[in-house]
Amino acid sequence: MPLKPMETKRTNKILLAKGVKRIAIAILFMFISPVILHSAFQNREHALYIPVLILGIAGATFAIVMAFVGLNTILKSMFDKPN
């Protein structure tokens, strides 16, 4: 009985690049959002307190979501079977 050649899995480089870009965007928002939140909390009496606070919270939420999506994309590029 002949042995079958072992199939090697290869990383999908296009999908890997998408995942790395998403992680980079998440890291950028992880630094920007706390600055915006700090700015909002320092200016509680200002007229734009609520919009700036909402912007900071939305940015922080976006950073968390993008980090998970980017990590999931990187894992798919490495472990999913090619079509």
pLDDT of residue 83: 61
CA atoms in the 13 A half-sphere facing the CB of 42: 6
DSSP string for residues in 21-34: HHHHHHHHHHHHHH
Determine if the pTM surpasses 0.85: no
User: What does the domain layout of the chain look like in residue ranges?
Assistant: 13-79
Q: 6-56, pLDDT tens digit by residue? A: 677 788 899 999 999 999 999 999 999 999 999 999 999 989 999 999 999
d(CA 13, CA 34): 32
Q: Looking at residues 57-62, what average pLDDT do you find?
A: 97
pLDDT at 11: 85
Determine contact, residues 21/62, Cβ cutoff 8 Å. no
